[in-house]
C-alpha cells in the first residue's frame, strides 16, 4: 500500500511537469502567430488554480500541525531528523516499540499520526500539482491569432468562428486609475454532435479587449469573418 501511495504521488508530479513542459513548448512555437493580445480576465482556469491552492494550503497546514504535535510529544529522543516523520517504516517501528513496552500515551500519539500521514502527503502532492498546473495555464493570455482566436487556453480555428460582436464598454479601477475595456463576443460553432445534444448550433464566448485596441482588432476580424459586427459599444 505504501508503494502505491508513492507511485500515485510520482505520477501526479510527472503529469504536472509534462503538461507544463508541453504547453510551454507550444506557447513558444506559436508566439509568432499572435496578432493582438487581449486583456486578461478571470476564467475557469484561475478559479481552478485558486481552489486547488486553497486545498493545498489546508492540507499542508494540517500536516504541519499534526507533525508538530508528534514531534513535541516524542521529541529528540525518538526523532533525530524531521524527515523521519515522513518515513512510514520508521513510524511503524516506533509504534511496535511503544506497544511492546506498554507506553500508551506515546502509542496513541504515533498511531493517530501514522494512520493519516500517507493520506496527507498524497493530498499535498495532488493539490500542489494541480494548483501549479492551473496557475501556469491561467497566465496564458487570450489573443487574436492568424490561425484563430485563443480563449481560455483553447484555440478556436477561424472555420469554427461564426461571427463576432462588441458588447458593453466599461472601466476597471487599477491603482486609482480607470482602465477601459470593451467586451468582445465571439460566436463559435458547435460540432455536429454537440449541436444535437445542446440544441443549438453556436455558443458565445465573451472576451475582453482594451478600449484602445478595439479598432485594430475590429478591422482584423472584419477581414476574416464574413459577418459584420452586430453591435457597437458607445
The mean per-residue pLDDT over the stretch 158-173 comes to 89
- How much is the pLDDT for 117? 85
- DSSP code, position 190: P
Q: How confident is the model at residue 167 (pLDDT cuts 50, 70, 90)?
A: very high
With cell 516506533, the residue in question is 94
Cross-strand bridge partners of residue 151: 154
C-beta separation of 161 from 149 below 8 A: yes
Q: Delimit the domains of the chain by residue range.
A: 2-33+41-138, 143-224
Please report the sign of the dihedral spanned by the C-alpha atoms of residue 84, residue 85, residue 87, residue 93.
Answer: positive
pLDDT above 50 (res 166): yes
The mean per-residue pLDDT over the stretch 35-44 comes to 84
pLDDT above 50 (res 229): no
- How much is the pLDDT for 68? 87
pLDDT above 90 (res 132): yes
- How much is the pLDDT for 82? 79
The mean per-residue pLDDT over the stretch 38-62 comes to 91
The pair phi, psi for residue 231, each rounded to 5°, is 170, 145
d(CA 24, CA 153): 12
Count CB-CB contacts under 10 A for residue 151.
20
C-beta separation of 199 from 150 below 8 A: no
pLDDT tens digits, one per residue of 196-219: 787 788 889 999 999 888 899 998
d(CA 162, CA 142): 18
Residue 150: CB partners within 8 Å, gap ≥ 6? 34, 140, 141, 142, 143, 144, 156
d(CA 126, CA 114): 20
pLDDT above 70 (res 26): yes
232 versus 169: the higher-pLDDT residue is 169
d(CA 229, CA 225): 10
pLDDT tens digits, one per residue of 54-86: 999 999 999 999 888 888 888 778 888 878 888
Q: Smallest Cα–Cα separation from 92: which of 77, 102, 107, 105?
A: 107
Structure-block grid coordinates of residue 35:
496578432
Q: How confident is the model at residue 228 (pLDDT cuts 50, 70, 90)?
A: very low
DSSP run (H or E) holding 26: helix 2-30
The mean per-residue pLDDT over the stretch 114-125 comes to 88
Q: Smallest Cα–Cα separation from 210: which of 144, 150, 112?
A: 144
- How much is the pLDDT for 54? 97
Q: What percent of the chain is predicted at pLDDT more than 70?
A: 95
- How much is the pLDDT for 1? 62
Predicted structure pTM score: 0.74
The mean per-residue pLDDT over the stretch 2-7 comes to 78
The mean per-residue pLDDT over the stretch 96-115 comes to 86
Amino acid at each position: 500500500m505504501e508503494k502505491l501511495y508513492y507511485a500515485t504521488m510520482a505520477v501526479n508530479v510527472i503529469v504536472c511537469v509534462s503538461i507544463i513542459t508541453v504547453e510551454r513548448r507550444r506557447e513558444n512555437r506559436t508566439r509568432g502567430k499572435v496578432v493582438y493580445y487581449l486583456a486578461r480576465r478571470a476564467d475557469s482556469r484561475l478559479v481552478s488554480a485558486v481552489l486547488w491552492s486553497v486545498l493545498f494550503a489546508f492540507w499542508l497546514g494540517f500536516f504541519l500541525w499534526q507533525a508538530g504535535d508528534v514531534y513535541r510529544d516524542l521529541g529528540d529522543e525518538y526523532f533525530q531528523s524531521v524527515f523521519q516523520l515522513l518515513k512510514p517504516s520508521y513510524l511503524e517501528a516506533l509504534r511496535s516499540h511503544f506497544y511492546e513496552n506498554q507506553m500508551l500515551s506515546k502509542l496513541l500519539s504515533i498511531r493517530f499520526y501514522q494512520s493519516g500521514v500517507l493520506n496527507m502527503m498524497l493530498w499535498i502532492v495532488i493539490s500542489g500539482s494541480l494548483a501549479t498546473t492551473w496557475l501556469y495555464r491561467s497566465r496564458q493570455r487570450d489573443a487574436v491569432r492568424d490561425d484563430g482566436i485563443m480563449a481560455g487556453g483553447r484555440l478556436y480555428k477561424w472555420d469554427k468562428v461564426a461571427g463576432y460582436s462588441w458588447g458593453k464598454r466599461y472601466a476597471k479601477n487599477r491603482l486609482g486609475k480607470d482602465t477601459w475595456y470593451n467586451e468582445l463576443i465571439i460566436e463559435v460553432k458547435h460540432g455536429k454532435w454537440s449541436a444535437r445534444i445542446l440544441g443549438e448550433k453556436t455558443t458565445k464566448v465573451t472576451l475582453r479587449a482594451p478600449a484602445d485596441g478595439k479598432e485594430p482588432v475590429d478591422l482584423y476580424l472584419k477581414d476574416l469573418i464574413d459577418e459584420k459586427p452586430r453591435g457597437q459599444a458607445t
